[in-house]
Amino acid sequence: MRRVLVTGSAGFIGSNFVRDLLAAERATEVIGLDALTYAGNPAATAELASEPRFRFVHGDVADRPLVRDVLASAGPNAIVHLAAESHVDRSLVDVEAFLQTNVVGTARLLDETRRYLATHPDPDFRFVHVSTDEVFGALGATGTFVESTSYAPRSPYAASKASADHFVAAFIHTFGFPAITTNCSNNYGPYQLAEKLIPRTITTALAGLPIPVYGTGANVRDWIHVHDHCAALRAVLARGGIGASYLVGARCTRTNLEVVHAICDLLDDLAPLERSHRAAITLVPDRPGHDFRYAIDPSRIEAELGWRPTIAFEDGLRRTVEWYLARR
């Protein structure tokens, strides 16, 4: 059995990745580590309670003694680091939480893993650090992010993730640490917390409330279904090169208003009202420092690891709306 430690295992991407990994790889055991903050959802992995290949540990990646004990008891062959504070809006009012989890937590996890490997050498060990495209800042009307794009974070959240990325790179260079970094575009799918655009739009519309859209809704994001992201992470874990970084995206750019319109149209079909759900869209003042456009070029991971996204945005969005409708 291979043993994989997944941090942030009760979060949106983390819980989806745990289920995906266990389903895809029968010879893999997963140890999930999560602090169960507001974004941690125990129900996201509740169906795994009877799965003998999954064990959950309640704890914080910034807690050195706990991390040390988990590494010693679990003896992992790999770590997929997903634990993070991830919502830009929250980072504007609570910088400290992002500093503690994303920067201090990552640095301590790296250092404890380095110390663990010093006494438990494993030539096949991999540490996959999962980051975001927001570390690169904003694009203009054209262009895409690539692995060599300069870092230019523009929010406290992006700055905290950029710092974590730099710690990973420093450990690779200084200690020969066996890490790989991924930077992914906006995810959507089941179990996403309702503070993010797509689930917020769905749940707000179903509650009959105004659907808020920042500014004019012209800001552009690059969307990928979380199941495609999970498949990419499995490819990186299996075949990624130590020290490499991979940008993960589905070449699916949409303005925020286009996404909200698409959700409203699906709800008109699946949960119709007397008038279109679009009538509830309300433009609200833009948030500070709102990046205009993100877009990813995933050519490297496609060419080197053979990964491709398989879920079209229209299909994935319908499945996501149906998932939330079934759990109103």
Q: How far is CA 221 from CA 18, 29, 185, 205, 257, in A?
A: 26, 34, 8, 21, 11
Q: Identify whether the C-beta of residue 84 lies closer than 8 Å to the C-beta of residue 161.
A: yes
Q: Identify whether the C-beta of residue 5 lies closer than 8 Å to the C-beta of residue 78.
A: yes
Calpha distance 26→38 (Å, rounded): 31
DSSP 10-39: TSHHHHHHHHHHHHH-TTEEEEEEE---TT
Taken in order 38, 43, 49, 53, the sign of the CA dihedral is negative
Q: Identify whether the C-beta of residue 244 lies closer than 8 Å to the C-beta of residue 302.
A: no
Calpha distance 166→140 (Å, rounded): 25
Rounded CA Rg of the chain: 19
Alpha helices in the chain (DSSP H): 12-24, 64-74, 88-91, 95-98, 106-119, 156-175, 197-206, 226-239, 256-270, 299-305, 313-325
Calpha distance 39→202 (Å, rounded): 18
Residue 240, classed as helix, strand or coil, is coil
Residues labelled as active-site residues: 133-134, 157
Residue 262, classed as helix, strand or coil, is helix
Q: Identify whether the C-beta of residue 284 lies closer than 8 Å to the C-beta of residue 257.
A: no
